[in-house]
Every structure is written in C-alpha cells, then in structure tokens.
Structure 1
C-alpha cells in the first residue's frame, strides 16, 4: 500500500471515530464494533489514540445502560399487558355476576322476559 493511501486511510478512520464519538445519541452495536475495529487498526499502525479509546469506553457504557433501560421497559410492558388481561377477565366475570344479581332482584321481569321469549308474548 502506498504511504499516501495509508495516511489517507488513517485520517479517514480518525475522522470516522471522532464523528461517531461526538454523536449525542447512543451508538448502535454495529457502530460501536466498527469504531472499536478502526481504533484497533490505528493502534496497530502505531498511533497513540488512548484519548479516543477513553471516549469509546464512555460510549460503550452509555449504550449498555440504554440497552439495560430499554430491556427493563420492555419487560414491564409485558407484565402490564398480562395484568390488563387478568383484569379484563375479572371484569367480564363481574359483569356476568351483576346480571345474575339484577335478575334475582327483579325475578318477575326476568320470568316475563323468559316466557315472552319462549311463547312470543308481549309483556
């Protein structure tokens, strides 16, 4: 490889790393891997890039914490959905029980409706 080409590659990698590390958002796993690989390449080339490595470690920690937070939220969503399902089942059971109690309170109207339905009577 020509020295000019290698110098261009090194500068390109440094530029890439700096751009990624300046992002306010959390970097994806792929971006972190690529940045880490490019940093290793720069180290193998003999450049002192410890200052970039420190910043990369901070970004990795941020990504880890963000992923942990997202996983906790997703788990909580699953729990809440299960709880809602249980409550909906309980609600439908209570509605049925309410109908039965109302029918007990007014047995005549229940009997009339039953007879009306069976014999097509108007009550």
Structure 2
C-alpha cells in the first residue's frame, strides 16, 4: 500500500467518524509521547501530521502506525461497525428470526459497551 492510499484511508476514517484532524492528531500524540501535556509539542505534532497526510513521500510505515493508533480511538471503532438491515425473505420461521434478532441486538450492545 502506498502513502497516498494510506493518507486517503486515514482522512476517510476521520471524516466518517465526524472528528477533526486536530482531535485525531492529539489522540495520536498522547498515545506515542510520554510528555503528552506539552501544548507546544502537541501543536507542532499537529502541523507535522497535517503535512504528512498531504505528502506522497511520507514513510508508509509511519502512516501505518498512525492508522493502527487511529483504529483504537472509540469514535473511529464505532464508525467502523456495520449496522444490520432487516431483510425478510421467509426462508426461516418468524420465531427463529425473532430469536436471531435478539441475539444480534445483545451482541451489538456488548460491542458498544466494550468500546466505551
């Protein structure tokens, strides 16, 4: 995967989750820096992060690392979940369908509680 594609993926994830690049860069900064309460360094990191997403020459391994960190963000994880759509085809009895819906609902609740 090239750096342009990775940058596009990262920007798409950020937009899909409704977050700003600033919020994500702060999240990444806090994950990789020991002194994460330094506002000046956080601002410098944000500026570098924006530039790295624009450049096609950014190191692929660095973008992959950012993507891995971003995927751990609760809002990103939630936006990546697939939401089920009900489709009735009549292939299984209605009672079984209700049971399956109940199981799926419980499963989604469990996933949401894990991400919080």
The answer to which structure has the higher helix fraction is 1
TM over 0.5: no
TM range (shorter): under 0.3
Point out which structure has higher relative CO (alpha carbons under 8 A, 6+ apart): 2
- Structure with larger Rg: 1
